[in-house]
Amino acid sequence: MKHAEVKFDTACIHAGQAPDKLFGGVSVPIYQSSTFAFEDADQGAARFSGKDDGYKYTRIGNPTNAALERCVAELEGGKFGLATATGMSAISTVFMTFLGAGKHVVSTGSVYGPTRTILEKELTRFGVESTFVDSSDANSVKNAIKKNTVMVYVETPANPTLSITDIAACAKIAHDAGAILVVDNTFCSPMLQKPLQLGADIVLHSMTKFLNGHSDVVAGMLVTSNQEMMKNMHRVICQMGGTIDPHQAWLVLRGVKTLALRVKVAQENAMKLAEELEKHPKIEWVKYPGLRSHPQYELARKQMSGPGAMISFEVKGGVKAGKTVMDSVGLSTLAVSLGGIESLIQHPASMTHASMGPAARAEAGITDGLVRFSVGCEDYEDIKKDLWQALDKI
């Protein structure tokens, strides 16, 4: 049964999976094997030539990995999935596949720090040009397009500013310029946003976050409905070696089964917390797509099916006050990453986005006092009580 035929909650449990044909196991088996035996030399030759689509070597393909790829592709409304060892492996694979000497990419300025660092400090060594803009303003994206632009790369909601980019508008801008649109959908997961349906060519995830949801795996995913694009990305990842391990893939498959349950609870908690934080006397501002004060509130309502579980806020008193809050929480964990079942709090300027440098952070709207809060699935009153007592320490 395909994702389109059932509700999303059901698809999370069943998409891309079926009982094991050998023994009838309900859970997808972990094929923890580096290589696969051939019946004879002719079969081996057929598999390497592409005439036989059977498995040959896990770096190239694995049954457990394939189940996860089918699952997430169906959830995203795409046709093809490619699981990777980490979220950065997914991002690097996209860049290595479509960028090269003399090529240009337009990117959201406020993206995950290492994503921007790759474009600014690594790919420039190979002649790749990048322009970073506030992609929440579609005109900024359009004005940044050059004759050699081959990719528009957006992260929406952006990390960590939570600004929202109009995916459909950026898809038109990219396609009119003969470029492709790539969307990092990590913050939303396919439960809350489906970029392919809005015109994106490729969607990527750090599956470490909401898709897995238990802070025990690092993994990434690429999804597209374009077979040629997937063939090219698969070729690159096989050559570069960024393949996911089968056991990682199985853990993510297990995590995806509770995706809808987790996001619903975390999102409900986040909505309540954002509303309360906005009234708190020690809070300078709150950025959350579910608040009417969010600059792209209406776009979020149109483009997303829910505001999500991520909140950014700034405490009065700047970095020192923010440090006091993070050092004073007891229930929430001071740690990077997000989308886990537990609440996580961190300071982007000194942690996840430190590699960008002060000037780039300021340009992207990442203030020194910004605190990023990944709201978890604990009881709401416990989350609030813990954060409030930390704010009282300022």
| Pair of tokens at residue 75 | 């959830």
CA of 14: how far to CAs of 8, 72, 208, 214, 353, in Å?
A: 10, 11, 20, 19, 36
pTM of the model: 0.94
* pLDDT (average), residues 159-184: 97
- pLDDT at position 21, please? 86
Q: What is the CATH architecture of 3-256?
A: 3-Layer(aba) Sandwich (3.40)
Model confidence band, residue 2 (pLDDT cutoffs 50, 70, 90): low
Class for the domain spanning 260-391: alpha beta
For the ranges 65-74, 229-238, 352-361, the lowest mean pLDDT is seen at: 352-361
Q: CA–CA separation, 356 vs 117, rounded Å? A: 6
For the ranges 107-116, 122-131, 366-375, the lowest mean pLDDT is seen at: 366-375
Q: Which amino acid is at 214?
A: H
Indicate where the chain has its CATH 3.90.1150.10 domain(s).
260-391
- Catalytic residue from among 70, 116, 209, 287: 209
Nearest partner of 229 among 333, 77, 376, 79, judged by Cα:
79
pLDDT one-digit tens code per residue, 110-119: 898 899 999 9
Is residue 184 annotated as a catalytic residue, yes or no?
Answer: yes
- pLDDT at position 320, please? 83
Residue 315 phi/psi, 5-degree rounding, is -90, 150
- Catalytic residue from among 56, 59, 254, 272: 59
Whether 96 shows a pLDDT value over 90: the answer reads: yes
Q: CA–CA separation, 218 vs 248, rounded Å? A: 8
Q: CA–CA separation, 300 vs 302, rounded Å? A: 5
What is the overall mean pLDDT for the chain?
94
246-256 and 63-76 helices, crossing angle to 10°: 40
Model confidence band, residue 363 (pLDDT cutoffs 50, 70, 90): confident
- pLDDT at position 264, please? 98
Whether 306 shows a pLDDT value over 60: the answer reads: yes
- pLDDT at position 43, please? 94
Is residue 209 annotated as a catalytic residue, yes or no?
Answer: yes
| Pair of tokens at residue 387 | 């954060």
* pLDDT (average), residues 229-258: 97
The bridge status of strand 333-334 relative to strand 344-346 is: parallel
Q: CA–CA separation, 259 vs 252, rounded Å? A: 10
Q: Give me the DSSP letters along 171-224.
A: HHHHHHTT-EEEEE-TTTHHHH--GGGGT-SEEEEETTTTTT-SSS---EEEEE
* pLDDT (average), residues 327-334: 94
With b meaning 16 or more CB within 10 Å and e meaning fewer, what string describes 138-177? bebbbebbeeebbbbbbbbbbbbbbbbbbbbbbbebbeeb
Is residue 112 annotated as a catalytic residue, yes or no?
Answer: yes
Indicate where the chain has its CATH 3.40.640.10 domain(s).
3-256
- pLDDT at position 357, please? 75
- Residue 23 burial (C-beta neighbours within 10 Å; 0-12, 13-18, 19+): exposed
- Catalytic residue from among 31, 112, 153, 288: 112
CB 118 within 8 A of CB 164: no
pLDDT one-digit tens code per residue, 275-304: 999 999 999 999 999 999 999 999 999 999
- Catalytic residue from among 184, 201, 245, 386: 184
Choose between 87 and 3: higher pLDDT.
87
380-391 and 259-279 helices, crossing angle to 10°: 40
